[in-house]
Amino acid sequence: MSPDYPLGRTLDLSLDLIARAHSVPVPDDPSALEVLSDAELRPGLDAIIAGREGSDLWVFAYGSLMWNPEFPVAERRIGTVRGFHRRFCLLQRRFRGTPERPGFVLALDRGGLCRGVAFRLPDSEIREALMPVWRREMRGRGYVARWLPVATEAGTVSALTFLANRASDRYAGRLSDAEIAEKIAVACGHKGPSAEYLFRTVEACERLGIRDRHLWSLQALVAERLRACAPGA
């Protein structure tokens, strides 16, 4: 994960470039990804809650949760998880892709380390607090959940963390950055382009002072491909 670029450098990828390349809306196709209902999700949520340690409730964010957590936040800290690294390794056939042109979303895969954001949720009923993020991350069967230690400057906390589910048919393994960029550049679903997810994540990392060579490499490769096909680019 050693970076080879300075923080604050101008990104090659931009929302304007992405919009020019993906100007045609994509309708939702519910058949592209079968999602679990709340009733189907509750046993897994109950099981993860039963294994919780500590009194405070933390969630570790390393992708879209950094810039769109969708839950109330009482405190946030930059933190590091060891033993896993951030990688675009989960195919997205709905939301930001289609079965014909699947995109990618981030997950934590084995090895290395990952810097992200540990969010502490306000004191409340734990199931009510966690269900929104549990629904968002677990309904597509792409992740497994674990309580992992997150090292922060103010001490180590135990945080709910979503790892790549290697048994899922969405798990793509370790493709090269060029192979991933090819899919991200052309993928778009009813929630928007896969490239927008990438852009907002890189932007969030840069803003937070988090260096990640994988993300930086991908944003340059995707921008190059979009400029080749976007009108007026």
- Please give the average per-residue pLDDT across 183-196, as a whole number: 97
Predicted pLDDT at 3: 46
Asked if pLDDT for residue 81 goes beyond 60, the answer is: yes
What percentage of the chain has pLDDT greater than the value 90? 86
How far are the Cα atoms of 41, 111, 216, 222 from residue 13, in angstroms, in the given order? Answer: 36, 28, 10, 7
Q: pTM, whole model, 2 decimals?
A: 0.93
Q: What CATH number matches the domain at 15-229, 3.10.20.30, 3.20.20.370, 3.40.50.720, 3.10.490.10?
A: 3.10.490.10
Predicted pLDDT at 125: 83
Helix H or strand E segment including 172: none
Please give the Cα distance from 147 to 81 (Å, whole number): 11
Q: What are the tens digits of pLDDT across the range 105-120? A: 999 999 999 999 999 9
Nearest to 133 by CA among 69, 73, 194: 69
Q: What are the tens digits of pLDDT across the range 18-69? A: 999 999 999 999 999 999 999 999 999 999 999 987 789 999 999 999 999 9
Nearest to 79 by CA among 64, 94, 66: 66
Predicted pLDDT at 117: 98
Q: What are the tens digits of pLDDT across the range 142-171? A: 999 999 999 999 999 999 999 999 999 999
Query: Catalytic site residues?
Result: 137
How far are the Cα atoms of 32, 92, 166 from residue 170, in angstroms, in the given order? Answer: 12, 7, 8
Asked if pLDDT for residue 5 goes beyond 90, the answer is: no
